[in-house]
Amino acid sequence: DVEKRLDSLLNRESFDSQSAVTPHVGIIMGSDSDLPVMKDAAKILAMFDVPYEVRIVSAHRTPENMFSYASAARDRGIQVIIAGAGGAAHLPGMVASLTPLPVIGVPVRASTLDGIDSLLSIVQMPRGVPVATVAINNATNAGLLAVRMLGVGDADLVSRMSQYQDDMRNEVLVKTEKLEK
Ligand code: RP5
């Protein structure tokens, strides 16, 4: 069952960060089978101390939940939604149609078609309903993009993003130096 699979992947506390705090980011996905990919977004948000929640919301299996989650998100204090799905991946687009919040789509590589199906389902939104789509299975970038979006109103968060970029650059420089020796 979902609870058991959730708990076996990550313990409960690490999923809903700081439960007393209003989540700023909602990480949702079509199935618990997306969790091994989507947990990378949670890891990034935890690293930047951004409160988040994780929910299984399926566009096809639980359309009513999708409707109520997306419609209520803004009033609940959510500022960005990260939505991952595989196959006929309608979740990010449908959610974007139901909320004025920015939605970041993560195409999850499902069992067939190498995730190209998910990518095209998510990226090919009709004019008027944008979904910021990251690379196949790249929930890390979805987390980082959410942090950058929240940084618009949070100078401290921007500084930490800048530090993250400096650290990345230094890592590469150290590797290059080692190769040159
Ligand atoms: C989608 O179908 C999910 O997002 C998942 O990527 C895919 C397969 O789901 P399961 O059959 O593993 O639950 O809705």
Confidence label for 111 from pLDDT (cuts 50, 70 and 90): confident
Pocket test for ligand 1, best of 5, 32, 34 (most atoms within 8 A of CB): 34
* % of the chain exceeding 70 in pLDDT: 89
Q: How far is the CA of 181 from the centre of ligand 1 (A)?
A: 48
CA–CA separation, 155 vs 161, rounded Å?
A: 10
Q: How far is the CA of 105 from the centre of ligand 1 (A)?
A: 15
For ligand 1, atom 6: residue with the closest CA: 86
For residue 169, which amino acid is it?
Answer: R
pLDDT of residue 102: 98
Query: CB of 80 closer than 6 A to ligand 1?
Result: no
Mean of the per-residue pLDDT values for the chain?
Answer: 92
pLDDT of residue 6: 59
Q: How far is the CA of 85 from the centre of ligand 1 (A)?
A: 7
pLDDT of residue 10: 55
Query: Which tokens in the block code for residue 119?
Result: 């990518």
H or E segment to which residue 80 belongs: strand 80-86
Query: CB of 58 closer than 6 A to ligand 1?
Result: yes
Find the mean pLDDT for residues 154-165. 98
pLDDT digits (tens, 9 = 90+) for 21-61: 899 999 999 999 999 999 999 999 999 999 999 999 999 99
CB atoms within 10 A of CB 17: 19
Pocket test for ligand 1, best of 5, 31, 37, 108 (most atoms within 8 A of CB): 31
pLDDT digits (tens, 9 = 90+) for 51-95: 999 999 999 999 999 999 999 999 999 999 999 999 999 999 999
CB atoms within 10 A of CB 46: 16
